Each structure stands twice: as structure tokens, then as C-alpha cells.
Structure 1
């Protein structure tokens, strides 16, 4: 019996880059029931149309698979843009203070003022106790401002009081309450996990989270994104995503990294609690078999774990330097946790900025491989900013993913902070993308938005990979110019390889028969364009499961 193939819609007269090695280029696509049923020439695809088929002439426009962001904090970004006093990544401390004064004039007394971003080096350079700077802006509102990395917070006296932080408050595990050297009183600066004390008090309500989900969905569609990984969620975030997906309103492939120890909340979740969250909030586009662990902090605040000392380092030497001092989980505990998560079917993403933290993460993955065999789970080193050459080949050997985020592979507002504590030679070894690819590692792209990235625009990240220079010339020079890669090498980080990190390589990531019709349409080909042109890419249309979810 002959089966006649038909299509709901056909898209033809296009320049299609499929990312499918079996058929790299085409001019037309047929879609039925949200999936691609055929890819080929205009005539072949038009033959699949009947009287009910919708025909779309794309007039030569460029079509490629929709993009993925494998490390973002979308709801934090949405909440920031919608509800907070935000001044951008490159603002001065004075501009931040001015924004607080302006927001205070419009906010009822005792209501929280939140926002950002600021840079630790700039704040320290003022020479003024941080809380006093904010107290001068308002004493009747609690104020909590997040730094550019989203690892630290700056509070005024009212916020410290509301959160119950005083001289007797102990530092939480993995965090520090900065204190006056004489009085022991908090200065208003909270580092790393200490920020969870504030986030445990200042929580967005359900309506704000629902609005943030809608904002993120629409923003991602405008950028040509069809999927993402939220790198750290708690239960209210999960609930908001789940509600949207069950209502048919998420329209994105989404992986949720559940936090065992989290900067979003205090305490440690049990394995059973994480199992409950995985099952309770599973839905068609929400995939919850993912875990986030923090192995270290960030370089500008000297909380990332490196094999060599920070610069300047007046009080340390090769003899007394301890590379493990900044590790947030001791290696033995980390290995046991990754073994257990691997056994339970969770993919682990480990935040690792410094090369000591990267090595600890790889060691834990190796321990899981020895204990459980190769489970098929491809655990990730999140950020993978700095890698010792000895560890470069271990990613491929262990089946581990090197996730590239944030966009620090070209000069940006964070670069000065990197230079100050690492020096130029080490800073220029940031994100060794080419060396990892040459070593056979699989990589994926992440923005880390809104941490250390002003926006979630993937095209800027793509452009920077091609030159290692700021695509718009906003900052001079390059970061690791020898690590520049080609467009052909870079695109899988945003598509096929990225989809694999969600476990969806059979579902999406390429334009091929049987895959979800997740496409982005551009007004021009990416090939032959300058890096600046690629950075300025604006999709004209985004399709998710065959439906137009954005059209410019």
C-alpha cells in the first residue's frame, strides 16, 4: 500500500542551512503536525501540498534551526527588566545611586528597592562603607542591589535590619558577610551564598513570575531562541514555568537545573526532595532531570578556585597558596554527589570558573564513570572559563560538555576586573573554545543572562566567537585572539550540540525529517557577513513546532 505524504504548510524559495550533515542545504521545507516531514527542492516540497496546505514563499530569505541558550537565568532577567532599578552592565556607581534615589521617590516607605548592576572593584574604590552610600539615598526603604555577576549583593542599613543581619549573624556555608574590621558590624556587602539570606526574604510573587515568563518567552522568540536551560531554579520558578507550559503558553524547549545548594534559598535539598520536584513539575516542554552545583565563585572577587594565586598577591606565595581554599564542595563530597545524581538519572551542571574548580568537576565526572559505567548522561562543566592544559582532553574522554558562558570571550565590562586579579596572560586564556574543539570536546553556548551579560542576544555571542573582539568596538583589543573559530565551527554550539545538552538531539536542533519544526528566518545569510553584521542580526520570523511565534 502506498502512503501519500501531505503537509500542513510548505516553506519554499528559501536559502536553508539545515545543520544536518546528510543534507546541509535545501530550498524548501514541509511541515505536518508541528514536525518537519521533508526537506528538499522547491518542486519536491510543493508536490507535498494539497488544497488545504498553507504555502509560504520566503523570497530567498535565510532559514536555519532555532537557537538554544544552555546557561541563562531567564526569570531573574525578566524580573530585573520588569520590576527593578536597572542601570546596565557598564554603569558607574554614581549612576546606580542616582537610580536608587529616583526609584525611592516613587516607592512607598518600607517597600523594597532592588536592582543592579555594579562592579565590586568600582564599589571598593569609593572608599566608603557600602551601606552608608545607600543610606544616603534612602533610609526608609530596604535596598538590595545585585552586582554584575549576580554573585554578590549591596545592602543599605534598612535591608540589613529587615533580613536580620548583624554582627552576630554567622556566615552561611559558601558565603561571606563582609564586616567592619574594628566593630564587626556588616558593611552592607554580601558575597556568594550569603545573598540567599536576602533572596529568602525578598521573593517575587506568583503574578510577577507569570509576567516574567511571558516576557522571557516573547523576548527569546524575538531573538530566534527556541530553547534554553535555566541554570538554577527553585520551586516557585518551576511552578511558574510549569503553569505556562500546561496552559500551552511556554512555546520553548526548557531544561530546569534544580539547586541542591542554592543562592536562591537557604539550606540543602535532599535527593528525595529533588526527585519530587523533578516529577511534580514535568510537562511536555519542561525537562527537570538536571541539577546545578556550585564549585567556586567568580574571578573579580577572588572567589573562583585557581591552581595559581591571584594577582596582586602580597600575602601569599607558592609555598602557602592553597588551590582548594575556594572550592565550595570538597572533592570527596563532590564525587559522591555526582555519582549519586548520575545513578538517579540527573544531568549535573557544575559552576566552575577557575581551573582548579574545572579539574574538580572533571574528577567528579570521572568518579561517576568508574562507579556507574557510562550512563549516557553528559554532565557539564558550567562556564569552563579557565582550563589547565592537562585537563583539555578530559572532556572528550569523559563524555563531558564544556559549556561556554557568559560572553567573556571578547572585551566587555567585566574584562577590567579579570585583568586586575588575573593579569593579562591568564585573562587571555579565558574560554579556550578553539583548543577545546581541537581536543574533541563538545561545547555549548550560554549567555548567563542577566549575570555578566547585558542581554540574552545569542547573535552577539556568535559574532564574538569569530573574532574574539567586541563586535561593536565598545571595548578595544581582543581576549585570546588565537581562540577565534569559524562560523561553521560555532553554529553547532547554538543548535545541534546545544539541543543535545537538553537531551533533545532526536527532537530538535537541526532541520531534518522527523524533527520539531523549530526554525528561525533571517533577512540575509550569515555566511559572508562581518562579525558586526552578525551581531546585529534580527530574525524576521521564529517558528516553534511549526507555528509562527514571532514575526517582525
Structure 2
């Protein structure tokens, strides 16, 4: 019998394994869990080199999984960009840009954030001029809170070749004044015109990958899904993994179409990316499509009109970034190619289009075993709730985006209270038999990647800090016992690693988190404040200590 490298005992082990939900000891060997149970059951696994850690009543649970986080984007924001938070006033952002512009290289872009699209009128008729006054001639771009829209100064517009004659790209808008001059605001796919200036260097991405890994481990994350990957991101993830510096299970969704790319990425390029970026913990059998925009910019696709919009002139298809027929063809082809598809869909018309496309793939290919995802799934028509289970589709929800936060007031102003209260119907999805996974969407519209705050958002629909009062969709809250599997077991299944991670069970990878207190006895405010005492990946301590 193989002997354990390590035994953890005197713990409250929340296994997330229905066969044995609670235990007191875990044996680990060769990066895998050898046994779970009582302390005396571990004795046959003790050898001369076995390390024994008595946890003295601490809680042990599987590492958490974020099914939608732009890990490298977030790390680059922290390392290289100006980011004053989602509540920052425009004046403060301008002051920070002015300070950086004093000694910034003349031809290098200053990247900052964030502004809120619902507050666009406060930027005046020509927002680029506000930036011109503080930029010291440097090109500047300010990302909005959602990462879907951009505010540029004149130098940046010139560098990107955007002028009065530049046509609006399909699905996007170059905002113009009454003379036809760009004002500096780029909406949705128009952002692709500047993407090449925003891309970090290979060295910056390598540093960002290491920074991200340390950050995620400190939060108790041992796996995540990168929702929008191109070749540079894949190279950085694979390189970090091969160097032993990643220590995370990563599923990367290869971008087929997004507002950040000026055209569709050819299918043969997706195949090449899968072939060329191979690493033990990097999984690339995934693809990404964008179906609509975001409500706060009035670019999400809804079946019913926005408040104040003339119902007679409402076109539910207007904000769909991919025509429904084309989308169905795409799902059939991507499913046949063995790629699990994540579709950004916020409005209920976009969600329905995504489900229709999955239905087309099921009709054409049968059930391939791939469980395609509707990302965000903020607003779902009641008629579409049972379709998730029927199609074996996954609803990804983002409680960090929809519990009260700095953007909520803008969402209410744009959508009205009644519609906002229907967002993320987690309880209704579960009642309809749907599989649900958690995604933070960091750094888009959330200040950090902390999953514990997301967990509290799901079980209370409130901001645990109390800074933003009230609730959003309170009737859709679910208890901790139902929410925790969404962050573990379900996340592992979405990674394609069901049974390998997200659970404490013999044979699984030893990916675990140690907490000082009992998670299942904490009030929500304390859950939100959790800082793991230790995080283990494949049996190695990658954060904290035992």
C-alpha cells in the first residue's frame, strides 16, 4: 500500500462528496487524495516520511473554481494600468492620468479606468478634449467599467487612424459630434480598432501570469476558466505551467468572435492554437462567442424594449452581434470540432439565441458530451428556464456583477427596477434542473476576483460591506449548501475535470483550502471577509501554511 506524503487531521472536512459529506482527516500522496475519513482510518497510510498536520478544528474544503475570470487582464490592470476603482469620480481619474503623463514615454499609451456608460453625459459633448487637457500629448484610453466601451483622447485616435471617414464596424459605434468628428467614445466592436495598442508585451504577460497565480491562491482558487484567449494569453499560461509557476487548473476559451477582434478567428487557427499550446494544467478544448453587449450601455439584446424606447420601433435583433442563422451554424461547427462554447449573453433575447444555437447543434450532432455555456445569463425569459436542462446547457452567473455595487444605480436607471430585479434567477434555474456555475468576470465591472464575496452575493443578494444598500433579486437567493457546489463540483465539471478537482475524495487531485473557522457556521459578513489560512494544489502548499 502506498504511504501518504501528508496527513491532515483534526479538521472539519467539507468534502462536497455526497457519499461522505463530512470527515475529519485526509491523506495525500503523489499530489492525489489517498483517503478521506476518520483519523484512525489514516493509520495504515503512515510511513516514515509522512508529515502529519493537526488542523485543530480548522475547516478543509475543495479549492474554489471561477468559471469566468480574465486572469491576465486583471493582473495587467493591477500591475501596469491606472485603476481607481469602479466608484472613482471622473475628476480623480483625470488627475491620476495627469500625474502619470508627466514622465510617461511619449509614444506609449496610458491605460486607465473606469468610467460608467450611464454617466456618459457628464463627459460633455466631446470627451476626448477632457483627456487632451491632462495627457501631455500622450495617447490615453480609459476603459469603461464593463471593458466593452472606451474613451480616447485625440492622440490615441490619431495613433489608431480613427477619423471622420472611419466607418463604424459591424456591431459597434464610433461616436461622432455634429460635424462627424469622433468624440473619443468607442462602443462595443469599435474597440477592436485600438486593441493592438492595448495588448501587453510577452514579458508583461509572463509577469502577470505569476502575479495572478499568487493572487488566486491567496483567495483559495485552484482553478478557473479564461473566457477569451488569444495566442499571447495561451503562450503565457502554458509557459507559466511548464515552469511550475501556475499551479492552477485552467480552461482557456479560444476566441472565435469577440468585440476585441476585428474579424472572426478562422477555425483552422483555433485548431492550431489547441495544437501549439500544450501544458499539463492548460486545457484548450473551449471556444468563445459574443452575442450582445451590456445593459448599462444599452447594447444588451432584450425581447422587450428598454424603458423609454418606442415599442413600435423596438427590434429585438438589433443588438445581436451574430445573426441567429450564423450563430446556429457556428454552434454546429464548433460542437462538431470538439469545442465547448461559452457565449456572452446578457439580455434575454441573446440568451434565447444562444439556447437556439445549442438546440441546432444537438439536432445536427446529437449530444456530443459537450455542455455549452451561456455566460452571465443575467436575464432569462421564463419560457427559456427549462431549456437549459433539456439541452444540457450550463448557465453561468455572476453575482459579483448583480448584487448591489457601484454599477447598480446605473443599471436601474437604464433598465428600471422591475427588470433589474429579475436578473440572475439562480433559484429558478436550479428549480428547473439547470446546471449553474459561478463567474466573477474580473476585472470587468468588479473590483477584484474574491470568490467569497461572490458566494455571499449568491446566498444573500446583498453587498456584505454595506456600502451599497438594499438587494437585487432577493427572491433568487439560495442557501450556502446549494451555492458551495456551484463554486466547486460544478466548476470542475465545466473545466472538464469532474471528479478530479472540486471535491475531496480518494483519487482526486489534492486541491484544497484551509480556513480558520467553520464555513458552514459563519454569518455571511464573515464569509465575505475570509482569507484562507492555506491553499494546496496537488498536495503542495501554494499559499499560507499548515
Of residues 84, 102, 105, the one that matches 1:87 is 84
Deviation at 1:118, TM superposition (A): 1.1
Once the two structures are superposed, the pairs formed by residues 325-364 of structure 1 within 5 Å of their partners are 325-364=318-357
The 3 A distance-change label for structure 1 pair 167 and 406 is farther
Unpaired segments ≥5 residues, structure 1: none
Deviation at 1:74, TM superposition (A): 0.9
Deviation at 1:409, TM superposition (A): 3.2
Contact 2:249 2:281 in 1 (8 A): yes
How many angstroms apart in 1 are the aligned matches of 2:200 and 2:272? 23
Contact 2:226 2:253 in 1 (8 A): yes
Of residues 485, 489, 498, the one that matches 1:496 is 489
- Measured on the aligned residues, the alpha-carbon RMSD in Å equals 1.1
The yes-or-no answer on 1:459 pairing with 2:456 is: no
How many angstroms apart in 2 are the aligned matches of 1:190 and 1:406? 27
How many angstroms apart in 1 are the aligned matches of 2:412 and 2:136? 36
Of residues 197, 201, 219, the one that matches 2:197 is 201
Once the two structures are superposed, the pairs formed by residues 46-445 of structure 1 within 5 Å of their partners are 46-180=43-177, 182-313=178-309, 316-317=310-311, 319-405=312-398, 407-445=400-438
Cα-to-partner distance string for 1:454-495 (whole Å, 9 max, x where unaligned): 000000010111111111111111101111110001001100
Cα-to-partner distance string for 1:134-157 (whole Å, 9 max, x where unaligned): 011124100011110000110000
Cα-to-partner distance string for 1:223-266 (whole Å, 9 max, x where unaligned): 00000001101111111111111112210000001111233332
Greater shift, 195-204 or 293-302, is seen at: 195-204
How many angstroms apart in 2 are the aligned matches of 1:146 and 1:446? 21
Q: Which residue number in structure 2 is paired with residue 468 of structure 1?
A: 461
Aligned length: 545
Deviation at 1:406, TM superposition (A): 5.5
- Secondary structure of 1:102's counterpart equals helix
Cα-to-partner distance string for 1:301-355 (whole Å, 9 max, x where unaligned): 1100001111222xx22x3311011100011100000000001100000000000
Q: TM-score, normalised by structure 1?
A: 0.97
How many angstroms apart in 1 are the aligned matches of 2:16 and 2:103? 50
How many angstroms apart in 2 are the aligned matches of 1:144 and 1:409? 26
How many angstroms apart in 1 are the aligned matches of 2:85 and 2:340? 33
Contact 1:228 1:255 in 2 (8 A): yes
Deviation at 1:47, TM superposition (A): 3.2
How many angstroms apart in 2 are the aligned matches of 1:327 and 1:56? 55
Deviation at 1:43, TM superposition (A): 1.3
Unpaired segments ≥5 residues, structure 2: none
How many angstroms apart in 1 are the aligned matches of 2:36 and 2:366? 38
The 3 A distance-change label for structure 1 pair 409 and 202 is closer
Q: TM-score, normalised by structure 2?
A: 0.98
How many angstroms apart in 1 are the aligned matches of 2:162 and 2:377? 34
- Secondary structure of 1:358's counterpart equals helix
